[in-house]
Amino acid sequence: MSTADQLSGGSGGTAGRSAGPMSGGPVPSAEDSSSSMAAGLGAAVLYYDPNPTAAKLATAGLRLAGYRVLHAASLDQAVELCRAHGPAGDQGIAALLLDTATAPAVSAAVLRALLEVPGAASLPGMLLVSRANPVPFPGAETLPSLKRPFTTPALLKFLRDAIDVVPATKPARARATPDDAVLRLEIALQQFFPDLEPDIETLRRFAGTLNTMAELPTLASGVTLQAALGPNRLESVLELLGADGVRGVLTVERNDPGTRTIVRLHLDRGRLRMAEATHGGEDLRLERFILELESMTQAQLEAVNAMDDPQQRSLAGRLLADGRLAADALAAALAAQAREIACHALTWTVGRVTFAPTEQLHPTLTQLGRGHADVRVAEVLMVGLRRTDERAEMGPHMASLDEVYVRVDDEVAKLGRHAFAKDELDVLEQLNGRNSVKDVARKTRTGTFAVTKVLYRLHRGGLARRAASPVRT
């Protein structure tokens, strides 16, 4: 059974179609290939992708290489374009390129619909797949595929190797070699204004004007993704990277007056294995989570921190290498810390996010090995978004970290201890009018967000109130 037969449900509906790569037919001969290359000059690629951001980037790269791109974001658009420009139309389409990473089932339906267009089964077909799902639907394993994320040169090589079509080349113009900023500007202008061909001197003056208004961004070595928070949401970036199953470090930076906070999330095939934060206080330090799990005592941790370490190892590395903490206990503490740091970063609405893929894990994770506790990206998103809803629910009644509360003993006594949960009793014992929210979180060995939720309930129930500021005379 051919690939077209498999995608159409095995009904044998492709028997009358001409043979080609999409229908599982014979490979064209060398003579046919040369004629297809000649006909392919200026040929178009029908590109289906429902994700507008991903489609815009891929389309720009293909057009810069000389290909004409007919982009379709829905099944109806793809079929309409194929009828108008396919073998039964003006014969402008040379290949079909389908993204399956966003919605595999929908992409399979699009491919089946395209195969019903007269002559379309003879067109070469290619798939863009996610690393987590390289075979998105039955029959896809017989088609050429390229895994996301990919670079533009990789996409162009994949396209040329798969369909043997050389894009039309524009006549070369004799010009001086532009610098990097001018070259980037020329690529951007060609993307949005393909018929515009300004000379280098005009581009250089234009780039100089832009430089006076804003610094042109450049990606650091090894970075494949860079975005600003605000127009882009961190949960969307995490969702994308988690679905693609990539391994690397997602760095989130935020600049506050006098403080620059950096969070690094170590992602590994849809899991968050570890997280680091340059600021955040005791609430995000590894010690808090070790104490919460009762893996070590406060005195033991203080003794480890007081010891000199010529190798300048991290606390996790020292505890594991010196045998002071079991691997399972350390992995559980790291997972809890990673979840808390990620949820903290999900509250940011300004900053910058970059992702650098790598095949090497953090030395602590390599030393720890696999088979221990970790946290999935989906769980992080669920917890973080749930907290966002809870913050919105508390609104202006949410306690700040430096606020001090005092319990209303008369009201507490009327209810009795049996009316309170354990976390509420723990917080009530610390509401003496001297401890701030941060102090209560440290003494109860819980996070500040957990304390603010308890305080919200106690405050709204009239069981605790904000301490009055002392009057100065």
Kindly state the tokens that stand for 397: 């009644």
pLDDT at 326 over 80: yes
In angstroms, the CA 48 to CA 151 distance is: 18
Q: Is CATH 2.60.120 correct for 398-466?
A: no
Q: What is the mean pLDDT of residues 288-292?
A: 84
Binned at pLDDT 50, 70 and 90, residue 371 comes out as low
User: 235-251 burial, b if ≥16 CB within 10 A, otherwise e?
Assistant: bebbebbbbbbbbbbbb
Whether 47 and 69 have beta carbons less than 8 Å apart is answered as yes
Residue 61 has pLDDT above 70, yes or no: yes
Predicted pLDDT of residue 223: 63
- More confident call, 374 vs 181: 374
pLDDT band at 23 (very low <50, low <70, confident <90, very high): very low
Strand ranges, E, within 337-376: 351-357, 375-376
- Distance, in Å, from the CA atom of 452 to the CA atom of 470, rounded to the nearest integer, reads 23
Q: pLDDT for 446-460, tens place per residue?
A: 778 888 889 999 988
Average pLDDT, stretch 99-125?
85
3-state secondary structure string across the chain: CCHHHHHCCCCCCCCCCCCCHHHCCCCCCHHHHHHHHHHCCCCEEEEECCCHHHHHHHHHHHHHCCCEEEEECCHHHHHHHHHHHCCCCCCCEEEEEEECCCCHHHHHHHHHHHHCCCCHHHCCEEEEEECCECCCCCCHHHCCEEEECCCHHHHHHHHHHHHCCCCCCCCCCCCCCCCHHHHHHHHHHHHHCCCCCCCHHHHHHHHHHHHHHCCCCCCCCCCCEEEEECCECHHHHHHHHHHHCCEEEEEEEEEECCEEEEEEEEEECCEEEEEEECCCHHHHCHHHHHHHCCCCCHHHHHHHHHCCCCCCCCHHHHHHHCCCCCHHHHHHHHHHHHHHHHHHHCCCCCEEEEEEECCCCCHHHHHHCCCCCCEEHHHHHHHHHHHHHHHHHHHHHCCCCCCEEEECHHHHHHHCHHHCCHHHHHHHHHCEEEEEHHHHHHHHCCCHHHHHHHHHHHHHCCCEEECCCCCCC
pLDDT at 179: 66
**pLDDT score recorded for residue 407:** 92
Reference 394, options 345, 314, 454, 311; nearest CA is: 454
Q: What is the pLDDT of residue 26?
A: 39
Question: How many CA atoms lie less than 13 Å away from 335 in the CB half-sphere?
Answer: 19
Distance CA 360, CA 268 (A): 10
pLDDT classification of 199: cutoffs 50, 70, 90: confident
Higher per-residue pLDDT: 42 or 333: 333
- Contact assessment for residue 375 and residue 339, using Cβ atoms and an 8 Å cutoff: yes
**What pLDDT score was predicted for residue 266?**
93
SS3 91: coil
- 275 forms beta bridges with 265
User: Mean pLDDT of all residues in the chain?
Assistant: 78
Report helix, strand or coil for 417.
helix
Q: Which amino acid is at 213?
A: M
Strands 404-407 and 44-48: unpaired
Q: Is residue 365 within 8 Å of residue 314, measured between CB atoms?
A: no
104 pLDDT tier (thresholds 50, 70, 90) = confident
Q: Cα separation of 22 and 114, whole Å?
A: 10
> In angstroms, how far is the first alpha carbon of the chain from the final one?
92
CA distance 137 to 296: 49
Give the model's pLDDT for residue 251. 93
Q: What is the CATH number of domain 3-163?
A: 3.40.50.2300
Domain segments of the chain as ranges: 3-163, 171-218, 225-392, 398-466
What residues form DSSP beta bridges with 225?
355
Residue 42 confidence (pLDDT): 55
Is residue 56 predicted with pLDDT exceeding 60? Answer: yes
* Range in 71-85, 357-371, 399-413 with the lowest mean pLDDT: 357-371
Per-residue pLDDT, averaged over 99-109, amounts to 84
Q: Are the beta carbons of 62 and 155 closer than 8 angstroms?
A: yes
- Tell me whether the CATH fold assigned to 3-163 matches the one assigned to 398-466: no
| Secondary structure E strands in 87-182 | 93-99, 125-130, 145-148
CA 304 and chain centroid, separation: 36
Q: How deeply is 405 buried, as exposed, middle or buried, from its count of CB atoms within 10 A (0-12, 13-18, 19+)?
A: buried
| Whether pLDDT at 444 is above 90 | no
**Are the CB atoms for 373 and 335 separated by under 8 Å?**
yes
**Per-residue pLDDT at 7 exceeds 60:** no
- Rounded Cα–Cα distance for residues 267 and 376 (Å): 9
* Residue 32 clears pLDDT 50, i.e. is over it: no
pLDDT attached to residue 3: 40
Q: Inform me whether the pLDDT recorded for 343 exceeds 60.
A: yes
Residue with token string 């003494």: 443
Which of 69, 135, 141 is closest to 100 using CA atoms?
Answer: 135
Average pLDDT over residues 136-145: 80
* pLDDT given at position 264: 93
Task: Tell me which range, 10-24, 37-51, 131-145, 193-207, is most confidently predicted by mean pLDDT.
Answer: 131-145
Give the pLDDT of residue 138: 81
